[in-house]
Amino acid sequence: DKSAAIEPVVALSSKEQFLFFVEEHRGLVWGGIFLVVVLVGGLIALKWLSHQKQEEAWELQGKAQHVYLDRPLDDVEKGKANIQQASGMFQNILKQYPATPSAKISSFLLGNSLMEAENYQGAIEAYTSFVQEYAQDHILVGLVQQRLGLAQLLNGNREAAVGAFDAVLGNPHALNKDQVLFELAKLAESEEKIDDSVKYYKQLIQEFSLSPFSSEASLRVKVLAPEEAKESVEPEATNGSTAIPEASNHQSEEGEKDEKEGGK
């Protein structure tokens, strides 16, 4: 009797079992469908809002950059006013549109504008915030750390400046190591640390021979350490001078041989 009662249930197909379940739990099924629709609609709305925010941020970014870059060269006060206005606009982008591509650019330009306004402490804070926020962008972080080092230097903190420059040299993805080596060499030279300065210049020449800073570094080595520059040239001169006698000896031997043959 029990097996006979179970047989009709076992005989139901998967489709029939599903329809039977829906019929039995109609409220739960409709609730699940409604929840899915709400979630999908919410995701679409969030994506649309995110796109709108990015569009608004880019628009404000363009205006801020226009104010920042379009500064009159013959009106210093107007130029300062433009920088101050642009700094405020960059800060607004960071507050109103965080985590957008525009915020990333604004963070960098904010530091630059504060540097030009000689607000070095503000620039340090802006650059430091960028490095912390966008640490995964190794190439741009290298550029920002160089700017951070300059800001620290202008703010009177040499140790922090050297630390920022060293961070660039330790970044395997940085593309501005030649510039940083040049900055370190100039800094050491200004402090009359000639050995350190020459070391940085020579490192620049050896590791970045194609850099536009390499030729200037070579000139500085000749000025600061003429003995070392002379030593690097002397081996080449010696090799050239030894080659000349060998060539002349060879020519004289050939001349003697020709004379003997002519005499015969």
Give per-residue pLDDT as tens, 54-68: 788 889 999 999 999
Residues 213, 157 share a domain = no
pLDDT confidence tier of residue 132, bands split at 50, 70 and 90: very high
Question: Can you tell me the mean pLDDT for 253-262?
Answer: 53
Shared-domain flag, residues 169 and 190? no
169 shares its domain with 186: no
End position of a domain, from candidates 143, 175, 207: 175
Say if 119 falls within a structural domain. yes
Q: pLDDT tens digits for 71-126?
A: 988 999 999 999 999 999 999 999 999 989 999 999 999 999 999 999 999 999 99
Q: Which domain holds residue 130?
A: 83-175
Structure tokens at 149: 């080092």
The number of domains in the chain is 2
- 144 and 164 in a single domain? The answer is yes
Q: Taking the chain, what is the end-to-end CA distance rounded to the nearest angstrom?
A: 136
- Give the pLDDT confidence score for residue 93 in this predicted structure: 95
pLDDT tier at 31, thresholds 50, 70, 90: confident
Q: Find the CATH number of the domain harbouring 169.
A: 1.25.40.10
Which tokens go with 202?
């020579």
Name the 3-class secondary structure at 121: helix
Cα–Cα distance, 68 to 117 (Å, whole number): 11
Specify whether 231 is located in the same domain as 217. Answer: yes
